[in-house]
Amino acid sequence: MMLRWQMEPAIDALAQLSDSVEAALRRHGVSGEQVSRTRLIVEELACNTLEHGHLRRAPLPVDVIVHLLHDALVLEFHDSGPAFDPRSAPVPDLDADIAERPIGGLGLHLVQQLADRLDYRHDAGRNVVRIVLLQPADPPLQESPA
């Protein structure tokens, strides 16, 4: 099953997008953990697009596509900002004193940590980030005492 949203590149559209994604995933029986992971990823990618991607270009809508598979949730995020591969972002030094750390980078680090797989391509002038979130395995059945 495929679900699709389009967000105008405006900060006030972000909450509506996040709420719509969350509500649709819950309606389709997606686990609470997957819903939370997906919402955080959508919010972070959308914020980065609004903050960095549309400053230098005529803004086009952001497209968010979710494919619900039997063993995974696949999220595609399409934007028209300058080409940027989120996998190329430097890993933040989480052990450094917060006052000495450069601003930024934590959100993309979080996205990479939440994703089971993250792919990127630049296609027809648009960034396409593809994230796979595997369904959590069912806990093993407890044996009843004999």
Domain range for 60 is 2-95+104-134
CATH number, domain containing residue 56: 3.30.565.10
For the stretch 11-68, pLDDT in tens is: 888 899 999 999 999 999 999 999 999 999 999 999 888 877 655 565 678 999 999 9
Distance from C-alpha of 5 to C-alpha of 24, rounded to nearest angstrom? 10
Any domain includes 6? yes
pLDDT of residue 8: 84
Q: Are strands 72-79 and 117-123 parallel, antiparallel or unpaired?
A: unpaired
Domain count of the fold of the chain: 1
Any domain includes 108? yes
Any domain includes 60? yes
Task: Output 137 or 78, whichever has higher pLDDT.
Answer: 78
Any domain includes 142? no
Any domain includes 141? no
pTM of this structure: 0.80
CA 139 to chain centre: 26
Any domain includes 146? no
Q: What percent of the chain has pLDDT over 70?
A: 75
Query: In this structure, what token pair is assigned to residue 130?
Result: 């593809």
pLDDT of residue 135: 85
Distance from C-alpha of 135 to C-alpha of 116, rounded to nearest angstrom? 10
Whole-number average pLDDT of the chain: 84
Residue type, 134: L
Q: Across residues 103-131, what is the average pLDDT?
A: 87
Q: Is 3 left (phi over 0), alpha (psi -120 to 50) or beta?
A: beta
